[in-house]
A and B are shown apart, each in its own frame.
Chain A
Amino acid sequence: MTIQDRDGPPSHAAPAEELAVGPPGVFARALDSDLWHSFKRSPVTVIAAVVTVLFLVGALFAPLLAPYDPFDPATLILMDGFTPPMTEGFSGNVFWLGTDDQGRDIFSAILYGARISLMVGFAAVTFGMVLGVSLGLLAGYVGGWVDGLIMRVADIFLSFPTILIALLVDGVARAVVPSAFHDTLAIYVLIFAIGVSTWVQYARTVRGSTLVEKNKEYVQAARVIGIHPGLIMLRHVLPNVMGPVLVIATIGLALAIITEATLSFLGIGAPPTRPSLGTLIRIGNDFLFSGEWWITFFPGIALLVLALSVNLLGDWLRDALNPKLR
């Protein structure tokens, strides 16, 4: 990744004292106009953003928006099972996207499923980002054997694909957790596994930019007046290395959502009691051969559209923030 080429506005913006209060505002304003223009010029990006926002709203307000509560056994009518899309079930209710074997409304299940998928995605990205950024800062700023150790561990992680690491960590974590807690802890295991599998990218990027920032005058000035190294890292170096991190995080979100869906599909992710989109696809897959295609088709489409939109946003953000790529 190229980092050195975008140390423009924030790092020269203000002396150390002011930087502590100022950077988010300065940072946001400097980027805002440029970003907004390139955003408006790309219709695909606008569509992707709208779709992503729709998903976010749908997921956040699922309990209010969903026509049925698919996970309340009291309201489920088993006789409604396998109702095809847009038809009336046994009970006379109309289901837009049909129902599954237990009479759960697929549309409602997708809203609730997207909630879990997005929650796990965001949490995993945040976890991976915090872990990676802290280790990267530490490695870059402290250097020496700390740097060596962190980067060797990173090398080991880097020699395996993230999905494999997530699978293995998830598998090991499930083996460690007693089986009675599998369903309750499954979501946290997922977040942990996906987060751990992604920290290296952040760490390497942040380490690289920290090495550059470390030798700049504002950091040396801060060091001369005796500010604690931890404070220098957090207040002065961190804001200046966050740009590329946010790009990685956006692209990472799509990847995290796909990884979560994959693990859930394989049966080692979100439990059927709190299904994510991947779990819904897994459930529907069992009925594919008997012709009930809608149970797996609609969650699949939802997952694809969500992942594609977030991916498009991430791609656009990367290009917009990195003029060198044009």
Chain B
Amino acid sequence: MPVQRRGAAVEIAGLRREYFSGQGAVLAIDHIDLKVSAGEFLCIVGPSGCGKSTLLRILAGLDRQSSGTIKVDAAGWAVENAMVFQESGLFPWMDVETNVRFGLDTRGVPRAEAAPRVDAALKLVGLTHFRNHYPHQLSGGMRQRSAIARAFVTDPGMLLMDEPFAALDAQNRVILQAELVRLWEQTGKTVIYVTHSIEEALLMGDRTVIMTAQPGRIKQIIDVPFPHPRDLIQLSGSAEFGKLKLDIWRVLEGEVMRARAELEK
């Protein structure tokens, strides 16, 4: 096993994001204070429209906060973060290998140096034999694997994941969850993983942040007590897991109802 590498640490304080539209201001997220330690696998759960994706997009540099600060300690990392999107976002005109190399090309890594890194990333996700396939020739699960390889290859301080497995069927989702956990256990990267599934959050994460419905605030942060390495299938069947899931659902239930009432208004 290679030396454990640790990821970047993040400190978020007083983060707030307001959108302005014809109807006035909409507060997407507010009062977000959160510390993510280096190498942590943090999951964020909340009802639809709670601003969890907004938070992730701000961290990814794709959106800007209205106020508040984000401090990322990514010293020693060439790339601060890499995002894996819900739809893989693979470029359909590039084959898998070229897609995976993209983040290295954009940063001017020479081909000779990029090649072994691309090989390693493809091997990591088991796609070595599919390197010359185009995305439309791959299954949904393979596309998400490619997207994960594309993020890993840049060796980012943290991985930002926006419901990456939501569009997959149940079997594929379980397989990819297990693979991601294994990758995380091997590399020790910081992972911030947004999902609407409590089960997914508990299976994979060290801590789970529960967010309120609009505006998104942090309702509760739960330490997930299950040790690593984890056997996800076994874990999901255990009594302890079931109880924790139920506890969290009780917390989240009120928020989901509130979000629904908001929509029906």
Are both chains from one complex? no
